[in-house]
Amino acid sequence: MYVIGTAGHVDHGKSTLVEALTGIDPDRLREEKERGMTIDLGFAWLQMPSGNEVSIIDVPGHERFVNNMLAGVGGIDLGLLVVAADESVMPQTREHLAILDLLQIKGGLVALTKMDLVDKDWLELVSAEIEEVLEGTVLEGSGIYPVSALTGEGLPELVSAIDAMLTETPVKRDVGRPRLPIDRAFSIAGFGTVVTGTLIDGTLRVGQEVELVVSGQSTRLRGLQTHRQKQDVVQPGTRVAANLIGISQEDVMRGEVLTIPGWLKPTEAMDVHLRVIPDAPHALRHNMEVTVHTGSSEVLGRLRLLESDVAQPGESTWAQLKLDKPLAVVKGDYYVIRSNQTTLGGGNIVETHVRRHRRMHAPTLERLAIMEQGSDTDVLLTTIESSQPAAFNDLVKMANMSPDAVRSELESMASEAAVVTLGSGKIGPGMYAYTAAGWSALGRQAQVALQGYYKQFPLRRGAPKEELRSRLKITPQVFNFALPRLEQDGVVTEEGTLVRLPDYEPALSDAQKKVVEAYLKKLESDPYSPPTDAHPEAEVVNLLVEEGRVVKVDDAVVFSASAYAGMVEQVSKHINDNGEITVANVRDLFGTSRKYAVALMDHMDQQRITRRVGDARVLR
């Protein structure tokens, strides 16, 4: 299935030619029929001699309706430029041709209509003028076919030429992310809302869950049609009519995008490569207001020039578009900008969801060049660099590549140590990627974070995992994936709930050593009733606990390690001999007070040595 879009000046016979080719009048509005002028998009179809099915989008040629023309030509495979032989090239001929060029339509041809109204010499003169106008555009060198929709002369040759071009036209790609930019919405009694558009980037099937991205509405596909024929599945590159469940026609506007849920998020700012058309009436100024057209959408926006304050007609430059309303677009989509009903320029979208850039900043401009022209590897590396840790699904969206292509590139880059991938399984959804430099930077950040922690708490062996994660400013999932790799690389060592630098050992100062020596003597002098009001600073006590020299059974009671071990041994023996032990038994066993007995038994419960049964304890 292929889609052809007409283009050309008003009254040059586009709709008449489409009807002659297909037998279908593309003018569907009463006003169009009354005025004899196409106002909005029209649709028709035919089967070529080769068996290829072709959809034709007929666009208005009047200058007041170029916005409608732009809503229809975004997804076409070939452009059919229509020029009337009795009038030759006219203003909208040039404007429509410039639009086809800005949208980088892959090819096309010229139908020289109304040949029955002129003689052969005039046809040759008009053909020569058209060839000159086509120079330097995507249609340069395209065939020019004189036709008469009235007599039928030349139509078979035109159809054969279209058919031949289509056999050499690549089919639309399928990356598993179907998008249907909606160019029309209407209601059918008994069925509800129907939307139409040209499907790109993936397939749709009846019963599938879908969403209208800009408005955020969720729905399901009740039915699908192509050329008024019911379909269970429709392929990319197909003109589609989709019947939506539970959606009102009034809630669907032209410019909305229908797709599968969960991957496409509208953007309000995008980086673009801008080509100013040579016929632009004036230079483009930084921060000027423009109308942005892409897919079937039309929104106002601000043009931020990144290389200079003005862009002259015929120039190419890097720019950013700040939109008044969000657009559902992806990297690689094409756009056109207009102002005061005049086409100024356009080009391709390089990146979406962008931040405001420094203007005239060489590294930014270099990065944009890579994002536009680089290989898949270059684009992925640059994308990861700008958003690391980059989630696999985000890379698929930001680079606008298929999941299989991203997976293959990441596997290759990981094998060459150009990237580090983190995850619990194979490269794919749920994993994250760093560039090699980004991963090294994370390792240095972890070291700096732990050094800062040691400066704050010099007697602690390591930082709690959550403390380190917070200092690294990464999500818990990324941290859980990153920590084993950081340990594998020798950056950190994981010890239970702590993370430490491999070569760090906390050390007491000479003054602290004297305090500790005196403290331990006090504990040992009365091992079962140690003093509770003579503890050193908390950090010193914690270090002694970590080193196994003391056991802290509650906030106030600390036993020497040897005393605690002896008490646990005697309590266990007592339970073995008697079946249980009470707090009073413990108090009498060690000649201590109830305070120490309660603290000891609660701690042994916490350590799962004993468990409480009524007023007594038994061994676990």
Across the range 559-581, mean pLDDT stands at 95
User: Identical fold at 179-259 and 267-365?
Assistant: yes
pLDDT computed for residue 101 by the predictor: 92
- Which residues sit opposite 231 in a β-bridge? 224
Beta bridge partners of 432: 391, 422
Question: How confident is residue 52, by pLDDT bands cut at 50, 70 and 90?
Answer: confident
pLDDT computed for residue 248 by the predictor: 92
The closest of 324, 337, 334 to 284, measured between CA atoms, is 337
> Residue with structure tokens 């509770």?
532
Q: Which of 3.40.50.300, 3.90.1200.10, 3.40.1010.10, 3.40.50.11740 is the CATH number of 2-167?
A: 3.40.50.300
CATH number of 512-619: 1.10.10.10
Strands 108-113 and 144-146: parallel
Q: What kind of fold does domain 267-365 have according to CATH?
A: Elongation Factor Tu (Ef-tu); domain 3 (2.40.30)
Residues 6+ apart with CB under 8 A from 473: none
What pLDDT was estimated at residue 606?
94
Compute the distance between CA of residue 535 and CA of residue 532 in angstroms, rounded to an integer.
7
Please give the Cα distance from 242 to 233 (Å, whole number): 11
Query: Residue 530: pLDDT band by 50, 70, 90 thresholds?
Result: very high
Other CB atoms within a 10 A radius of the CB of residue 49 amount to 11
CB neighbourhood size of 513 (10 A): 12
For residue 14, what pLDDT is reported?
A: 87
Question: Residue range 372-399: average pLDDT?
Answer: 90
Given a cut of 60, is residue 485 above it in pLDDT? Answer: yes
Q: Give pLDDT, residue 161.
A: 95
pLDDT at 522 over 70: yes
Distance CA 35, CA 564 (A): 101
User: Is the domain 374-507 a CATH 1.10.10.10 member?
Assistant: yes
Q: For residue range 404-456, list pLDDT tens digits in order.
A: 999 999 999 999 999 999 998 889 899 999 999 999 999 999 999 999 999 98
Assess whether pLDDT exceeds 80 at residue 382.
Answer: yes
- Which pLDDT score is estimated for 35? 59
Report pLDDT digits (tens) over 164-181: 999 888 888 888 899 999
Q: Using a pLDDT cut of 70, give the percent of the chain over it.
A: 97
pLDDT score of 64 more than 80: no
pLDDT of 476 reads 94
Name beta bridge partners: 430: none
Confidence at residue 13, expressed as pLDDT on a 0 to 100 scale: 84
pLDDT for the residue numbered 34: 55
Arithmetic mean of pLDDT, 42-47? 89
Is 34 in contact with 27 (CB distance < 8 Å)?
no
The secondary structure of residue 283, as a DSSP letter, is P
Of all residues in the chain, the percent with pLDDT exceeding 90 is 71
Q: Quickly name the fold that domain 179-259 has.
A: Elongation Factor Tu (Ef-tu); domain 3 (2.40.30)
Question: How is residue 334 written in tokens?
Answer: 């094409």
* Cα–Cα nearest to 5, from 45, 62, 56: 56
Q: What DSSP character marks residue 308?
A: -
- Are 64 and 341 in contact, with CB atoms under 8 Å apart? yes
Question: Would you list the domain boundaries of the chain?
Answer: 2-167, 179-259, 267-365, 374-507, 512-619
All residues at 6 or more sequence positions from 123 whose CB lies less than 8 Å from its CB, including other chains: 85, 112, 115, 146
Whether residue 123 has pLDDT greater than 60: yes
Pairing of strands 616-619, 209-212: unpaired
Provide the mean pLDDT of the chain.
91
Q: Quote the CA–CA distance of 191 and 194 in Å, as a whole number.
A: 8
Q: Which residues are 499's β-sheet partners?
A: 463, 494
Q: What is the pTM of this model?
A: 0.77
